[in-house]
Structure 1
């Protein structure tokens, strides 16, 4: 490709609202990147997917009264919340370690901690020990295993970035199916949970180590010699949130809000089923269907986002989730209707996990991406800490539908998340149109200079487009609403 053609291609990429880094050095959109996407998927398979089997182990704890004298339902809820909280909240620590020691060593550390967590949990006899092993250790491990691989994908993909992150995030649903079924079989065969947890530790260790050996950034990163001064500089840069831009704030507010609804749905779907007279086995089937649907839905959401625009897709599906919960879940009163609900909502409920990395990379310059992604994950981690407990608090046994309050709150989180995306879309569309407007003016100025004309002569088509841009960019309420609904790929 000639320099002129390269410059034209770069300007088109920048005009679409991507970061300057993407415009100057466009990723190849494939190649070895697909190997990295698959590896990232299996790393999520071994972390969040394996963690989805907690419900199976929890059922054994409750039925066998294993911690009966010490544990309450709030203890079990807090343990699973700790994993979600630490797995996201420690993102900056994991990314600093990636910059200081490299991606493989960072993941290996996480794998070691995760393996210890599962195996030590199999020897726990007191609830405080379970807090440490299955809550604290697994939460720390997850951050070091799944956060760094997510950031590799942005270096490999641009126009197919949504598809890549969708494939990556599908590992959580796939792992939920595989590990839940295998853990259930091991518990039934062995008579307790101990070998089931050891199986989790050993199997996830093998899978994660293989993936860590294969995954890499497109351009090798220089690993500095470890010094405390270097560590201090990396830490200051990571937490330099004065440079956080508006898109990062919008993405963080959106994702941290809908993660509450996502967690509430996953935590209460099975319990809701039993509350309306279904069996616990039917409740488990619904959870499995939801996970299976997520496995299919997340790559599909990524593909749709690459076609329609990532903000557009996130907005449409966030609104869709809210409507499905308000209109469908609150009225689903039998097994058949809940199967249909689980199949449909499972396709789109993971929109935050599937597309937030791509949204961040699209709208943040390369040198600020780690800091911005850390900021997003910290807010998401904080909001992951309490949904399971909130679900228990909102449950009202006096209502004909004890989970009605939980369902309404769940739907509201997606509705509020949609509002943040609407504001974000207006900002992004204004940016794209401004770039287009400036480009038209510059092009015509250059033409006039070549013609040695002191008077700007605009083509009729350029005049029309400039006028259209000027009208859309006016700062008033009507134009603001027009920008929100303007049919443009964002």
Structure 2
């Protein structure tokens, strides 16, 4: 059974292809045109309402710890955001195969309902377990339905312009990470936490209508049977090594985003009002990282762009240990945002580029992102536990740096496995 309007008779006919002979060559892809760029617009809105909300959780973390949940430990509060982003990735195990099977519209409708409903419920929460259930579990499940189609759909419409199309779409995540924290801070002071959260939910509801109007599964891509495991693809060493790197990378990349505002207040003497702009600064400069990295990824390859970014972000985290003044923390936020910009814009296209079978790309993305999600699930709570132990802030910062360096090293190994040692090889 397929959804109306998503798959034409041509697509249904192609689904009869014997799956014992998988399609390894991609169908003719338009690589542009109005319909293709409408998919980018829809993906932009999905990034805005998934990674944009994930990227602003540091604002919630700071507010909960200083106001609503003052008796909870930092690592307990960070579980809310960690569960949310883990489910965003874990949802790929279901949404990936469902996308391959033609159920794009069902994913968009279900994801929109769960995401908005969870945010509205968050606005009336009072206790820790309520926030974990509404903001962590329900919103996270909604994000799990919405995120993977943003990557899979663009790979059906673009080839040589694929990376820059991903980059433009992923700017939605950065934009959300700029606008939502500022909006939350201002509205929370003026109308209180409940209505500030509801205002964000109303924006989500309105902008998530756009993907429902614009995004369409291409009939030229075969509709596969609903499967949830395809381990054969991971016999490819470069793909397996890269996915292992994603585990460590996503374990570390959000540590600074969750804790930078609290660190600045505790160690630099920054004012509360200025500290609330650190996260928007970080997310704002990540737009530069996303667009620049993705522009050159079309020319040099996505792995080649992620390697220097990962090592640069790791070095910054070690430098963070010595920052104890306001100008320093502002500069750190700006630079860190630039170098982590590629974390949300290039992993998807990297998995697609390493995938041995584009007709199962949704399934392969789903498995890859579950591994990344496991890293997100445990990374921030471990960082919080380090913070309240003898490790303190220096331990948290070093933890972040080591994880990003491991991601860089494993991505380098994947690049060598895929393209060899030639410096100019595209990978």
TM tier, shorter chain? Answer: 0.7 to 0.9
Partner of 1:21: 25
Partner of 1:122: 123
Partner of 1:439: none
Counterparts of 2:223 and 2:414, CA distance in 1: 36
For residue 332 of structure 1, report the CA deviation from its aligned partner.
Answer: 2.5
- 1:290 and 2:282 aligned: yes
Change (3 A) 1:409 1:63: closer
For residue 378 of structure 1, report the CA deviation from its aligned partner.
Answer: 0.7
Q: Which stretch has the larger CA shift, 100-109 or 196-205?
A: 100-109
The question of whether the paired residues in 2 share the 8 Å contact of 1:163 and 1:302 is answered with: yes
Instruction: Provide TM-score, normalisation by structure 2.
Output: 0.87
Partner of 1:434: none
Structure 2 residue corresponding to 1:30, chosen from 19, 29, 32: 32
Structure 2 residue corresponding to 1:403, chosen from 389, 393, 399: 393
Counterparts of 2:317 and 2:130, CA distance in 1: 37
- 1:275 and 2:254 aligned: no
For residue 419 of structure 1, report the CA deviation from its aligned partner.
Answer: 1.8
Counterparts of 1:162 and 1:77, CA distance in 2: 32
Matches within 5 A, 1:382-421: 382-395=374-387, 402-421=392-411
Partner of 2:145: 144
For residue 73 of structure 1, report the CA deviation from its aligned partner.
Answer: 2.9
Unpaired stretches in structure 1, ≥5 consecutive residues: 1-18, 225-232, 431-482
The question of whether the paired residues in 2 share the 8 Å contact of 1:250 and 1:424 is answered with: yes
Deviation string, structure 1 residues 372-406 (Cα, Å, up to 9, x no partner): 2111101011111112211212226878xx41112
Change (3 A) 1:122 1:220: farther
Structure 1 residue corresponding to 2:418, chosen from 402, 405, 428: 428
The question of whether the paired residues in 2 share the 8 Å contact of 1:254 and 1:420 is answered with: yes
Instruction: Provide TM-score, normalisation by structure 1.
Output: 0.76
Structure 1 residue corresponding to 2:42, chosen from 29, 36, 39: 39
Counterparts of 1:137 and 1:50, CA distance in 2: 13
Counterparts of 2:78 and 2:353, CA distance in 1: 35
Partner of 1:331: 322
For residue 315 of structure 1, report the CA deviation from its aligned partner.
Answer: 1.5
Change (3 A) 1:140 1:429: same
The question of whether the paired residues in 2 share the 8 Å contact of 1:330 and 1:404 is answered with: yes
- 1:103 and 2:93 aligned: no
Counterparts of 1:27 and 1:342, CA distance in 2: 39
Structure 2 residue corresponding to 1:340, chosen from 331, 338, 347: 331
- 1:262 and 2:265 aligned: no
Change (3 A) 1:75 1:415: closer
The question of whether the paired residues in 2 share the 8 Å contact of 1:302 and 1:355 is answered with: yes
For residue 83 of structure 1, report the CA deviation from its aligned partner.
Answer: 0.1
For residue 112 of structure 1, report the CA deviation from its aligned partner.
Answer: 0.7
Change (3 A) 1:27 1:222: closer
Counterparts of 1:486 and 1:291, CA distance in 2: 31
Partner of 2:425: 488
Change (3 A) 1:75 1:223: same
Deviation string, structure 1 residues 234-255 (Cα, Å, up to 9, x no partner): 13xx313134232321221122
Change (3 A) 1:344 1:59: closer
Change (3 A) 1:124 1:414: closer
The question of whether the paired residues in 1 share the 8 Å contact of 2:100 and 2:362 is answered with: no
Counterparts of 2:255 and 2:78, CA distance in 1: 11
Counterparts of 2:55 and 2:425, CA distance in 1: 38
Partner of 1:441: none
- Structure of higher RCO (CA pairs closer than 8 Å, 6+ residues apart): 2
Change (3 A) 1:221 1:103: farther
Counterparts of 1:361 and 1:240, CA distance in 2: 14
Counterparts of 2:283 and 2:352, CA distance in 1: 27
Cα RMSD for the two superposed structures: 2.3
Partner of 2:5: none
The question of whether the paired residues in 1 share the 8 Å contact of 2:92 and 2:148 is answered with: yes
Deviation string, structure 1 residues 136-172 (Cα, Å, up to 9, x no partner): 1011000111211221111111222111112222211
Deviation string, structure 1 residues 321-360 (Cα, Å, up to 9, x no partner): 222323x323323221222222222112132321111111
Unpaired stretches in structure 2, ≥5 consecutive residues: 1-22
The question of whether the paired residues in 1 share the 8 Å contact of 2:39 and 2:215 is answered with: yes
Partner of 2:198: 198
Partner of 1:381: 373
Matches within 5 A, 1:71-82: 71-82=72-83
